[in-house]
Amino acid sequence: MPIMTLLFYFGLGYLSLAVAWLVLLTGASWLFRAKTVAGAPLLHLGVVIPAHNEQEGIVSTIASIKRCDYPSELLRIIVIADNCSDNTAELARAAGVCTLVRANPEARGKGQALDWFLTSGREHYLDLAGLCFVDADVTCDVRLFRELSASLSCPGVEVVQGFNGVANSAVNWRTALVTAAFNVFNHLRMAGNNYLFGTAMLKGLGMAFATPVLARFGWPAHSEVEDVEFSLLLLQHRIAVHYNPAAVITSEMATSGGQANPQRQRWEGGRFRLAARLLPGLAAKVGQGQFRYLHALLDFLVPPLSLLVFLVMVWLCWAWLLVPPALPVLWLLLAGLSCYVASGQLQRRAGLKMWLYLAAAPLFVLWKLTVYGSMILRGRSTGWQRTLRSAELPKK
């Protein structure tokens, strides 16, 4: 068999495995039900906000938390002003919340800031039942903390992750399609994994922990994708991450390429590097029969949706030109991906405008391909850079 034909069928096998996994998660997601205790007494919670130069958004985020349907006496807001050169700390204090200042420019980053707080600021949270983490530029749904509390009240639930959505979903095609992607990646895959394996992955914000978990571990994950890194540590110690889709938190997504490109390069570059480092070990664990790691292994093996769609289209064209017998399989893969994407939108009750924006998916795929190309050409980023918010962009 010619080498190109072998390459074609090897790629087809990989794509079939990836899409089959997503279809399996799709089916499981429809069966998923969150663990909550209706009517349970509300827990005394802390809300931790790591903030680096967030003077534009910190006041509105604190206000969003205070507007939530949760007794103020049971909610302690703590801001970590991390290596700030602006008025973040002063504004947080003026808003009436506990504000801790961290100055360590040699160890910058969200994971480092959280670890510092959890290891050196124990007096601020050991009396609480749980800690919730939100970013400094988010909007909290009014029921966010009630839902997190209801999940943490379930016997055996020590970690819960809410749904991370997009606050500015209808601004343009970019934010709309990021919203569509979040509906599958931050909801459908979470629900499917939780149903099949009893655990999911942390998403960096909108998550809550029983206090003993954080008192035990701190936050030992310091990479660009510290949430994924910590998820795997919890998996190693058999601590499940439970998903509650009714605990909703939204954040602003980048509206322009200038905002979005560095952010995506940091997030996805960090994920690719973490996957390269961890895949051999995860594969070895699954090979040894530790099947609780299977979902993490497959999630790392499956490429981002835009890249997966692009690869399926490349193989479809290849089959049309040179391997016609494989065409039915590839059409089936496209149908599976369509079902996957549509199910995420249906489950999150996407509006008509969101469905119409899906017509711009090829543009989104092309943009993501330029991001990946830039990552390859530039190599690893030399340092962390904060993404500018829309309010900080120069006015035209």
Encode pLDDT of 8-24 as tens digits.
Answer: 999 999 999 999 999 99
- At 42 the pLDDT is 97
Q: Kindly calculate the radius of gyration of the chain based on its CA atoms and give it in whole angstroms.
A: 21
Query: Position 328: which residue type?
Result: P
Low-confidence winner among 196-205, 305-314, 382-391 (lowest mean pLDDT): 382-391
pLDDT confidence of residue 108: 85
Cβ-count burial 16-41 (b if 16+ within 10 Å, e if not): bebbebbbebbebbeebebbbeeeee
Domain ranges of the chain: 1-35+157-199+240-377, 38-148+208-220
d(CA 91, CA 86): 10
Nearest to 111 by CA among 25, 210, 225, 22: 225
8 Å CB contact between 166 and 249: no
Mean pLDDT of 206-210: 97
| Mean pLDDT of all residues in 297-304 | 90
**42 CB neighbour count, 10 Å cutoff:** 15
Q: What percent of the chain has pLDDT over 70?
A: 92
C-alpha 363/C-alpha 368 separation (Å) is 9
pLDDT (0 to 100) of residue 379: 61
Residue 141 to residues 69, 133, 249, 313, Cα–Cα distance (Å): 9, 14, 6, 38
Confidence of residue 109 (pLDDT cuts 50, 70, 90): confident
Q: How confident is the model at residue 387 (pLDDT cuts 50, 70, 90)?
A: low
Summarize pLDDT for 231-263 with one digit per residue, the tens. Answer: 999 999 999 999 999 999 999 887 766 666 666
β-pairing, 130-133 vs 45-51, is: parallel
**What H or E segment, with its residue span, contains residue 305?**
helix 305-322
CATH class of 38-148+208-220: alpha beta
In this prediction the pTM is: 0.90
Average pLDDT of span 114-143: 96
Q: Give the total residue count for the chain.
A: 396
C-alpha to C-alpha distance for 23 and 377, rounded to whole angstroms: 33
Instruction: Identify the DSSP state of 185.
Output: I
